[in-house]
Structure 1
């Protein structure tokens, strides 16, 4: 089981009020949280200069699934989930597909977990909000390159969700990973880390130095933990087109992978690469400091012993 998977199971072991939806295709949970008192904005109409929201307060649970969906459309994934909500007594308040929702503007108005936990293809997504008495739930469904993503957020009466506690003594937890640097310790604790010294000018994908402290630390971590595999995830600022930034972000991840292979001798089979463009910023894009922060590469653990 992966480190992230163990954390997810620890969260899901807590009592929650969220309805258990059965995914229509093979799926894995990539994110889960349960908050005893919080708020969530539910979209109740399409974007038209702004998106109309209903802000609901109460106990909030959120889960994200990644589905094996080589031929499925967002509607084909959403339809059986909607049927389950109907059967459970939920009434649909609002539902839409990509263009009818408001496209780019609607997607970035709603609360969606960042990649790689959740990915929303701007050309292929669906949204649904439903209500049963005082409980609200909304779904965001998208497909891209044979993979489906589903995010469900449910808000119910206060007290239905117990505080989340992650146990470190769970006997099902994976063996402790060896960690002797900041990058390694962050990976051990969170399952992901920013490789902060890999800096890029706008539009650039080059890593001109032969060695970088963060990659040295990552290489040492991988040698110390030979069963671990990782993914490098490239990011950009918001300058330029979405398509161009997706390509640039993937190339940045590939550049970091090349250094790990060529300089440090790490097997490429242990290093995946992904690019998410400007869709998962860490900072605002209206300042140079913010844009520089967003041009980055992160490492995510994808499997452990």
Structure 2
């Protein structure tokens, strides 16, 4: 749940801002993975951590620029990437509103109750991400910006959302070196398997799992998805995953979140006890009916929504 404090950017169609365009320079070759401009949008800008079931936000209204980049970076941490970008924002006149790291932000709950682009255009390591919100005042219209930064093994991921006047700031991003396209990962896995989907999209549904009706108890079947997943995790001990439980929309949110979390935990226990996967490679959470993949008004849709997904959270020790 996101609790918003209303902040209407009145006069968003006034004369252009006195501020110059925002220029960002990344610490390595950058590939833009997403770019979208909405002429008028309402963005709930997080300005506090996830706590007591909600994230405190400010509602910024105006033109919204959403962009994401993947940056080739051999050394450095998410902290170094964020520090570099923060300094550039401050040099451009932005003032910090809120900044947090993974645990302080609220971890899983913060990431999944804020606006984050999906894999593969934006990857968020649930064990290593950083968030920043800032404002720039003094022009005809205030401007608000948020940054998400996370790391892969040799790649940094950055998401930026900027809200302000249509006549105000545009964003220019450049690499420390000439931009280059990163070569795609071509995994040696079986076509159509859960691992192929996981490495291609960053997440995959474990479609063959079966639970007793209304129960978190995982059936005793020989589930191919878990066999494939365990083999890959054993061969790649640097991989970390999250199991995320989902339900249909019948019943209360609180009850469904609890059930979905317990089902994800049941899958984690099976991987640890039956397949000998180290528990440090797995985390389990549940989001109830908050992320449906089909219409809850039909039985077919409700069946599709009752699922456990696996997502990659890290490829680092």
**Shorter-chain-normalised TM-score: which range?**
0.5 to 0.7
Deviations 1:42-62 (A, max 9, x none): 159xxxxxxx995636x4226
Against the structure 1 CA distance between its residues 269 and 117, is the aligned structure 2 distance closer, same or farther, given a 3 Å change threshold?
A: closer
Name the structure with the higher helix share.
Answer: 1
The answer for the alignment partner of 1:154 in structure 2 is 162
TM-superposed deviation, 1:253 = 0.7
* Greater share of residues in strand: 2
Instruction: Report the counterpart of residue 189 of structure 2 in structure 1.
Output: 179
In structure 2, how many angstroms separate the alpha carbons of the residues matched to 1:152 and 1:224? 35
- Structure 1 CA distance, aligned partners of 2:189 and 2:210? 24
Corresponding residue of 2:41: 41
Give the number of aligned pairs: 230
C-alpha distance after superposition, 1:179-237 (max 9, x if no partner): 33521122222332211222557633222133112112111211222332222111122
- For structure 2, the 5+ residue unaligned runs are 1-20, 26-30, 45-58, 70-77, 80-87, 96-111, 127-132, 149-158
Which residue, 47, 60, 63 being the options, matches 1:56?
63
Asked if 1:284 is matched to 2:283, the reply is: no
How many Å separate the matches in 1 of 2:181 and 2:189? 20
Please report the RMSD computed on the Cα atoms of aligned residues, expressed in angstroms.
Answer: 5.2
The match for 2:144 among 132, 137, 140 is 137
**Aligned-pair CA distance for 1:292:** 1.8
2:107 aligned residue: none
Q: Which structure 1 segments of 5+ residues have no match?
A: 1-15, 21-31, 45-51, 69-83, 92-107, 120-126, 142-150, 170-174
CA separation in 2, counterparts of 1:158 and 1:262? 53
Q: TM-score, normalised by structure 1?
A: 0.53
Shift of 1:133: 5.6
Q: Is the 8 A contact 1:33 1:61 kept in 2?
A: yes
Shift of 1:113: 5.4
1:255 deviation in Å? Answer: 1.4
Q: Give CA-to-partner distance per residue, 1:102-131, whole Å, 9 cap, x none.
A: xxxxxx999565899599xxxxxxx99988
